[in-house]
Amino acid sequence: MTYYAPAKVNIFLKITGRRGDYHTLRSRFVRLKEPVDTIHFIPSRSTGRTFRWRASAPLPETNTLTRAYELLLEVNREKVERFFDTHTLFLDKAIPTGAGLGGGSSDAATFLKACNEEIGLKLSTKKLAAIGEKIGADVPFFIYDYPSANVEGIGEIIHPFDEEPPALSLVTPPVHCDTAKVYGYYRTHLLSRARPDAGKKWLQTPSRELLATLSPEEANDLYLPAKVLYPELAPPKAGTWFLSGSGSTFFQVAL
């Protein structure tokens, strides 16, 4: 049993304010064809209904997958424990971490959808998105699996955008950007710049047109915080390169 977890980029990302401990935003998310993580459910011997998982790259003991598993236990503990009594999860990582591509969020969303199908939980897409929201702001986007969508609030307001997303070239420097630190810098030093209507005029503009008219700094409110915290973070010298999310991946329309 194999399931695929795609990456995403933020064509633009504007901070619109705060809601409790969270930042509110307005953004265009575009799903990528690659890189892609792969989730496998491997049949294994019973070991007393313990959630077992392995990954091709180092992950913290508590991660988006373990969080997703815990939330599914609240839905139907009996079915979920019975399934993982005889299956081991293996995650094959291709999406780099700390790269602004949403790998951890996509892994969680794919895991939730895969469990829903394999275990027969019969959860609606809306319910899965509500569970995903508890894991991370980007998870609902991957639950809905739109090629392109406008995302608002803390990530829970998602409207599909009717376009053929442009083919993109990606460059990911060997820099791990800590999302919490990047947002923390913005909150401490730049939050006064946040406007409730930021990015609103771009919601109906195709992604290709936005990339042809915006500067990287104008498109992404996290560009400056990422550059300050990680001065070694630098785009390729040729062309105009945009930063995805909190970094470190740069992208442009493929030539």
pLDDT in tens for each of the 255 residues of the chain?
Answer: 899 999 999 999 999 999 888 899 999 999 999 999 999 999 998 777 789 999 999 999 999 999 999 999 999 999 999 999 999 999 999 999 999 999 999 999 999 999 999 999 999 999 999 999 999 999 999 999 999 999 999 999 999 999 999 999 999 999 999 999 999 999 999 999 999 999 999 999 999 999 999 999 999 999 999 999 999 999 999 899 999 999 999 999 997
8 is catalytic: yes
> Which residue is catalytic, options 14, 93, 113, 138?
138
- Residue 219: helix, strand or coil by DSSP? helix
Domain boundary among 116, 142, 160: 160
Radius of gyration of the chain (CA): 18
Same domain, 50 and 145: yes
- The residue annotated as part of the active site, out of 8, 14, 93, 113, is 8
Tell me the longest C-alpha to C-alpha distance in the chain: 57
151 sits in which H/E element: strand 148-153
Q: Give the range of the structural domain holding residue 13, as residue numbers without chain letter.
A: 2-160
The rounded distance, in Å, linking the Cα atoms of 159 and 172 is: 28
Same domain, 155 and 213: no
> Looking at 160, 182, 207, which one is the last position of a domain?
160
Q: Are residues 136 and 241 in the same domain?
A: no
- Please check whether residues 149 and 181 belong to one and the same domain: no
Task: Classify burial at 232, counting beta carbons within 10 Å of its beta carbon; exposed 0-12, middle 13-18, buried 19 or more.
Answer: exposed
Same domain, 139 and 227: no
Distances (CA, A) of 86 to 47, 49, 82, 153: 8, 8, 7, 39
Number of domains in the chain: 2
Q: Are residues 110 and 172 in the same domain?
A: no
User: What gap in Å lies between CA 235 and CA 140, rounded to an integer?
Assistant: 29
Same domain assignment for residues 153 and 183: no
